[in-house]
Chains A and B, each alone.
Chain A
Amino acid sequence: MKHVAPIPAESQTGTSGSGTTAFHGAAEPALEIRGLQVRFPSDQGPVSVIDGIDLSIAKGEILGLVGESGCGKTMLARSILRLIPPPGRVTGGKIMFDGVDLLGLNHERMRPIRGDKIAIVLQEPMTSLNPALRIGDQITEVLKAHRPLLSQAERNALASDLLEQVGIQMASQRLTQYPHELSGGIRQRVVIAMALVCGDVRLLIADEPTTALDVTIQAQILELFTRLQAERRMAVLLITHDLGVIAQTAHRVAVMYAGRIVEIAEVNQLFDSPRHPYTRGLLLSLPRRGVGLPKSQLPAIAGSVPKLSNLPSGCSFYDRCPHHLEDRCQVSVPALEETRPGSWVRCHRWRELPAFELPADVKP
């Protein structure tokens, strides 16, 4: 019977620093990632899936992480929980949580953190629930692992309480149902309940939590997320490719491209004046109701996402960037530079780029 040793929650900003100390000013970081590197071996030598990521999430903050499939979003989430599938390996960096480096912990010491302090909600609610177990058993299983002193009755009470909190009616009856008896929206609510049942979650990782849901249900789930997050002052890492979801939910946004973070900014800042050509391209290419002529050509980003095993030298967005310069952008990887307090961009030319403007009628 092991109990979680209380980890001293002292400030951890004092770590020996490169230029990125006190990184983009998250006042009280719940999680701080420094120089994270994840590699997978391949026939052509190791491939960097995550190549030097610095990121911090403040307490009580929703950090949106945007990027395309294969850019490393999910690997980042998995590396926080130390769940990188072999043969992948974390080859460098630190992930500071509650004053300890998660990467330095062995599996024995990682277990009390997973599910109790750091929880995850995955995309497809049907695959993250066990079809053969009643949902009550699945929720209380988390408590069995992390709160072994509770009696079964107490666990059930906690579970049904929580189901009510996530907006499920007749909670005590729901506990005896199987996942297939529930609709997609309710299943996702159950998964969220499972993630939060320990009551002490400091960081919730949500990996595309609404992608498999319909729009009207998605809106309900996102509302639930923001409500729970505010009530519990949790830090949330919200991973999605949907810029609409990001705009509606996140406080701060990090944009990933090919294993690196290319831009970080507060949400209004990012949508009003994005700095990186990739972010700009994404925002411009979205069809928007009432903007531009129907059936007109959308301003698309040319080319396709580069393979991680075959990245261009220098800036990984080089091939697709309308602003690239042969002598600079192809030569060296740009550093993440601070453009204004709290906004960072990885582009050689951010100072020279014209101001960003959406087509005129987008602003009301």
Chain B
Amino acid sequence: MNSFATADPEPILEVKDLVKHFASSGSWSWQQRRKTRAVDGISFKLLPGSTLALVGESGCGKSTTAKLILQLLEPDSGDIRLCGESVTKPKKNALRRLRRNVQMVFQDPYASLTPHLKIGAILREPFLVKGVRPRYEINERVRFVLTAVGLDPNIAQRFPHELSGGQRQRVGIARAIAGEPRLIVCDEPVSALDVSIRSQIINLLLDLQKSCGLSFLFISHDLDLVAHVSDVVAVMYLGKIVEQAPAATFFAQPRHPYSQALLASSPIPDPRRRTKPAIRGEIMAGTELGAGCRFRNRCPLAVSLCAAAEPELQTITESHEVACHRADETAYTHEASQFQTHANK
């Protein structure tokens, strides 16, 4: 699915120039006030029924973006439009209505279910909020969503601690779909689960997307997983989107040096193909950012221009956007990085 095609249907989610800075003042009044630019002007669109993956390392602003979309944080500036309506400046009572369209699946199924409530009670809540009455109707729907996520409806009588991690994450997903949202934000939905359970949960999410036409904003650092589930990939680095492209294009021809480094350093489950650390150093501290590119201290291609001016996101081929001064030359580097992962025998 190509979200950038001209005859687009209305996007389910549209984020424009979103900014969120946190003031991290020192603990003493004479210390300098600093700003963490968690999300620093990002824009993207998500079409109905498709999946946009936000990829990046810890601290790059993925989760802050999710919280902003869910209105759990208020943006400093920029606009978020859900189903065509702005949620940042909502009209009276509109927020509650708009929020129904978006739900979240959390990373840790052990922390995201209230321990003293039975599963049934946890799942009745979205229906109560929605105004479903009477009680037997609610119970009927609870049974329905439990079946939809592949659980035995009798699990409603149990407490979260009686369930396994995989079962809990299914309950988390059941709770998310109970309100019949159009968009689900999945923040690392499987990284806390056992390896043998992950694929079950991924399959369930893919199934639900197909049958209910859900859109996913999928936050993950696992590139193999992202390659499998997403339609569009957006790579974030220190609060900015540095590359955005349809998944197939992105994985075939990543153009930002950081995307290339991410792909080159994620370990391949095949001992005959070696991965190597592709970049040195670590994320720049917020105070050192200055005017230039945020990746310049680790970038193998950095030149003086990169320290002087921050590259803007520019379209290089249809629907493929990259923020790099040297994007013209990166296609070759990628070929080179392919050679690095040669067969070692």
The smallest C-beta distance from A293 to any residue of chain B, in angstroms, reads 9
**Contact of A216 with B277 in the complex, beta carbons under 8 Å:** yes
Across the two chains, which residue of chain B brings its CB closest to A292? B228
A271 to B229 CA separation, bound complex (whole angstroms): 24
**Contact of B276 with A244 in the complex, beta carbons under 8 Å:** no
Pick from A216, A220, A278: contact of B262, CB below 8 A: A216
A214 to B58 CA separation, bound complex (whole angstroms): 7
Determine the chain B residues whose CB is within 8 A of the CB of A267 once the complex forms.
Answer: 271
**Contact of B167 with A289 in the complex, beta carbons under 8 Å:** no
Tally chain A residues at the interface, Cβ within 8 Å. Answer: 51
**Contact of B224 with A222 in the complex, beta carbons under 8 Å:** no
Judged by a CB distance under 8 angstroms, whether A294 is at the interface is yes
Given contacts A247-B269, A271-B269, contact A219 B224 (CB under 8 A): no
Determine the chain A residues whose CB is within 8 A of the CB of B266 once the complex forms.
Answer: 215, 219, 244
Judged by a CB distance under 8 angstroms, whether B71 is at the interface is no
Pick from B202, B248, B272, B273: contact of A287, CB below 8 A: B202
**Contact of B251 with A215 in the complex, beta carbons under 8 Å:** no
Pick from B164, B269, B280: contact of A304, CB below 8 A: B164
Determine the chain B residues whose CB is within 8 A of the CB of A243 once the complex forms.
Answer: 195, 269
Judged by a CB distance under 8 angstroms, whether B198 is at the interface is yes
Determine the chain A residues whose CB is within 8 A of the CB of B279 once the complex forms.
Answer: 216
Query: Considering the complex, which residues of chain A in the window 269-316 have a beta carbon less than 8 Å from any beta carbon of chain B?
Result: 271, 278, 281-283, 285-290, 292, 294-302, 304-305
Determine the chain B residues whose CB is within 8 A of the CB of A288 once the complex forms.
Answer: 224, 269
A289 to B223 CA separation, bound complex (whole angstroms): 8
Judged by a CB distance under 8 angstroms, whether B129 is at the interface is no
Pick from B198, B223, B227, B275: contact of A285, CB below 8 A: B198
Across the two chains, which residue of chain B brings its CB closest to A249? B267
A197 to B198 CA separation, bound complex (whole angstroms): 38
Judged by a CB distance under 8 angstroms, whether B81 is at the interface is no
The smallest C-beta distance from B205 to any residue of chain A, in angstroms, reads 10
A298 to B190 CA separation, bound complex (whole angstroms): 14
**Contact of B276 with A223 in the complex, beta carbons under 8 Å:** yes
Query: Considering the complex, which residues of chain B in the window 6-58 have a beta carbon less than 8 Å from any beta carbon of chain A?
Result: 57-58
**Contact of A217 with B282 in the complex, beta carbons under 8 Å:** yes
Across the two chains, which residue of chain A brings its CB closest to B192? A69
**Contact of B224 with A215 in the complex, beta carbons under 8 Å:** no
Judged by a CB distance under 8 angstroms, whether B261 is at the interface is yes
A243 to B199 CA separation, bound complex (whole angstroms): 14
Pick from A247, A248, A283, A290: contact of B251, CB below 8 A: A290
Query: Considering the complex, which residues of chain B in the window 247-295 have a beta carbon less than 8 Å from any beta carbon of chain A?
Result: 247-248, 251, 261-263, 265-280, 282-283
Determine the chain B residues whose CB is within 8 A of the CB of A241 once the complex forms.
Answer: 194-195
A219 to B282 CA separation, bound complex (whole angstroms): 12
The smallest C-beta distance from B150 to any residue of chain A, in angstroms, reads 11
The smallest C-beta distance from B190 to any residue of chain A, in angstroms, reads 10
Judged by a CB distance under 8 angstroms, whether B166 is at the interface is yes
Determine the chain A residues whose CB is within 8 A of the CB of B200 once the complex forms.
Answer: 300-302
Across the two chains, which residue of chain A brings its CB closest to B55? A215
Determine the chain A residues whose CB is within 8 A of the CB of B248 once the complex forms.
Answer: 294
A84 to B207 CA separation, bound complex (whole angstroms): 43
**Contact of B265 with A298 in the complex, beta carbons under 8 Å:** no
Determine the chain A residues whose CB is within 8 A of the CB of B296 once the complex forms.
Answer: none
Determine the chain A residues whose CB is within 8 A of the CB of B265 once the complex forms.
Answer: 215-216, 218-219
Across the two chains, which residue of chain A brings its CB closest to B228? A287
**Contact of A289 with B282 in the complex, beta carbons under 8 Å:** no
Judged by a CB distance under 8 angstroms, whether B240 is at the interface is no
Judged by a CB distance under 8 angstroms, whether B211 is at the interface is no
Across the two chains, which residue of chain A brings its CB closest to B207? A297
Query: Considering the complex, which residues of chain B in the window 209-264 have a beta carbon less than 8 Å from any beta carbon of chain A?
Result: 209, 221, 223-225, 227-230, 247-248, 251, 261-263
Judged by a CB distance under 8 angstroms, whether B301 is at the interface is no
The smallest C-beta distance from A98 to any residue of chain B, in angstroms, reads 30
**Contact of A223 with B277 in the complex, beta carbons under 8 Å:** yes
Q: 10 A-B residue contacts at CB 8 Å? A: A219-B265, A219-B277, A248-B271, A287-B202, A288-B224, A301-B197, A304-B167, A304-B194, A362-B270, A364-B343
- Which 10 A-B pairs rank lowest in CB-CB distance, beginning with the nearest? A244-B267, A219-B265, A219-B277, A287-B228, A214-B57, A285-B199, A300-B199, A298-B199, A68-B194, A301-B196
Measured CB to CB, the residues of A under 8 A from B are 68-69, 183-186, 214-220, 222-223, 241-248, 267-268, 271, 278, 281-283, 285-290, 292, 294-302, 304-305, 320, 362, 364
